[in-house]
Structure 1
Amino acid sequence: MKGDILEDFLKSNENGLYCTYGDFYLDASRPVKNVIVSHAHGDHISPGCSNVFCTAPTRSLMEYRLGKNAGNHFFTYSYDNALWVGNVKVTFLPAGHILGSALILMEYEGTRYLYTGDYKVQADATCEPLTLLPADVLITESTFANPKIKHPDDITEILKLNTISDTIMLGCYSLGKAQRLTALINKYCPQKIVLLHHSIVPYHKVYESYGFKDWNYLPYSRKMVKNNQQNLIYLVPPLTFNSYVRAKNVVRVFASGWEKLQNRNGIELFISDHVDWYDIIETIKTVMPKEIWTLHGDGKYLADFYEGSILVKHL
């Protein structure tokens, strides 16, 4: 890996992260001319962009979420298939976060910059596993970059649901988490009947269009729940979950890596789609960067941990 690290390769402004040398944004927060999208979660996409570069599943999910405003022109690429955006060579690598999620490897004048977007190390049958390559600069999310945080094994967590026979209202994000939970429940809690909130069903359908067709679930039925059948798990988005704080005859559970979201629930269910502290450390060992640029969180613990060995700065 030759070449110098350009400290201004990425600049943060009101539209997001901008690459001057390629004239594009990464996961723009506002409409821009050129945007490379890591994945289709709402905090990483913006309606109305002119040229959108992403994977095919990300395009499908964006078109469902944003409709006609998803983007004027889409350019979709498979993993490991390099493209040029301006003067920067770009390659998508699996991020292991949700279906179609991608790390974005950018190469310019012999220097490699690896942008993670959101990513995870844990195995997930509903998306492609994380793939890492060496880079000079690692631009990583630091959402859970705290030595006190270690995500438990997801199988151990999902098995907790087998201890509950009453109807479970399971709060989760509609895209990514709901599909992962469906697959986990089907495999490790086979006696459970998965019911989906109406807003989650279309995301399952997009996944199914990409080959995930062996799930067992039903659209929510008030009659089924009213009859108080046992072993029902009703997957609902956060807004619905929060609207039924006093729901009767159900056990409230929320699947998340955030401890604050476990409060006042029937049981804790720590299932996260992000890397924890130890995952980030292992990622850094694999990528072997000369510098680490952090996003989300504040990167303070990483800066302290690598002081004197690797430069860490927060964008």
Structure 2
Amino acid sequence: MAEIIEDFLVKRDKGYYCPYGDFYIDPLYPVNHAVVSHAHADHASPGHKHIYCTAATAAFMQVRYAKQALASYQCFEFKVDFHLNGVDLVFIPAGHILGSAQIFMTYKGVRYLYTGDYKLQADPTCEPIEMVEADVLITETTFANPEVKHPNPETEILKLDVASNIMLGCYSLGKAQRLTALLNTYLPEKEVLVHHSMLAFHKIYDRYGNFPLRYELYNRKQMKGPEQNKVYLIPPLTFNSYRRAKNVLRVFASGWARLQASNDISLYLSDHVDWEDILVFIEQVKPRAIWTLHGDGRQLHQYLADSLEIRDIIEQTYSPDFC
């Protein structure tokens, strides 16, 4: 059995670095080679010389980072091998948002799986997660808490079956499109209006996704009409600025309890794995070791300490120019 390289992937100031392949995963600052798991801004940043990602991720990044040269993007289909300096890489669907990928890396006979953000719940707007076995699982721990259990999305969306217009706060990429699909499916009489900042992302879902979304661009007259069946999707900053909005119910879609405070209806909808799903995922991946990141992994460490080698990813203080 090949030996695991403990510093195969390490945390540096610019992001997660693989010194054996000389590339970063989800770097925050410009680097030569950036492998990007998905297009949320805390994982996908501009300024890199070479970006390796899925086509949908590239499309989202081009909307956000219009000045990034098109030639920088090298797009790969899921489950198609590519290589960086001796490391073999494959994108595996992560189920987080459209185009989101787990990054499966093989080096000297050892398989390393970086999850990025991922979810197991069904979501017709993105590619469903796929499970692969790996020697080392490098997993996010956003909701790695035994007390966290994400509710059923259908049950949650049916809370919006009320005779009122709704102002629904949500993240513009991923969450907004998933909400549109849930509303279209379970509350088809609701008219979905989207904030102008979300429109480009909805259109990319129309182009790359397999679920037809029904929505319209918001205009002020629609929300002021007599019908009480409208849901207006708006980004967080706009939601927070509309504190005094009248004649609407205020709702914010999130897995975090703190973001439900002071709203008229709670709507727990997360695009990450909860505690039970992390354990299911680990059982399927069958790792020899687990490295945790993106959250507090202490409770997961305690739970698995007697059965697996588990720790936080190694941190290195090292910041050469444009490495």
Q: Is the structural similarity TM-score above 0.5?
A: yes
Aligned to 1:140, the other structure's residue is in SS state strand
> Alpha-carbon deviations, 1:198-232, whole Å to 9, x = none?
10111001111114572221111101112242111
Map of 1:259 onto structure 2: 257
Identity of aligned residues (%): 55
Q: How far, CA to CA, are the matches of 1:107 and 1:132 in structure 2? A: 16
Quote the Cα distance in structure 2 between the aligned partners of 1:169 and 1:76: 36
Say whether residues 1:292 and 2:290 are aligned partners: yes
Q: Distance in 1 between matches of 2:312 and 2:7?
A: 13
Equivalent residue, structure 2, for 1:91: 90
Aligned with 2:280: secondary structure?
helix
Matches within 5 A, 1:1-315: 2-69=1-68, 72-162=71-161, 164-212=162-210, 214-315=212-313
Output the CA distance in 1 between the equivalents of 2:235 and 2:82. 36
| Whole-angstrom CA distance in 1 between matches of 2:197 and 2:110 | 43
Report the residue type matching 1:30 in the other structure: Y
Moved more, 98-107 or 207-216: 207-216
Q: Go from structure 1 to structure 2 and tell me whether the alpha carbon gap of 1:241 and 1:228 turns closer, same or farther (over 3 Å shift).
A: farther
Please state whether the residue corresponding to 1:247 is helix, strand or coil: coil
- How far apart, CA to CA, are the structure 2 residues paired with 1:212 and 1:95? 16
Gaps of 5+ in 2: 314-323
Q: Tell me how far apart the structure 2 counterparts of residues 286 and 255 of structure 1 sit (CA, whole Å).
A: 29
- Matched residues in 1 for 2:222 and 2:78: separation? 42
Residues 31-83 of structure 1 deviation map (CA, whole Å, 9 limit, x = unaligned): 00001000000000111100111111111111111012266521111111011
- How many residue pairs get matched? 313
Give TM-score scaled by structure 1 length.
Answer: 0.97
CA contact (8 A) 1:141 1:294 kept: yes
**In structure 1, what is the Cα distance between the partners aligned to 2:254 and 2:83?**
37
Corresponding residue SS for 1:131: coil
- Opposite residue 120 of structure 2, the aligned amino acid is V
- Structure 1, unpaired ranges of 5+: none
Aligned-residue Cα RMSD (Å) equals 1.1
The Cα offsets for residues 162-211 of structure 1, whole Å up to 9 and x where unpaired, read as: 1x111100000000000000011001001100010010111001111114
Q: Deviations over 1:88-110 (max 9, x none)?
A: 00010000000100000000000
Greater relative CO (CA pairs within 8 A, separation 6+): 2
Counterpart residue identity of residue 45, structure 1:
A
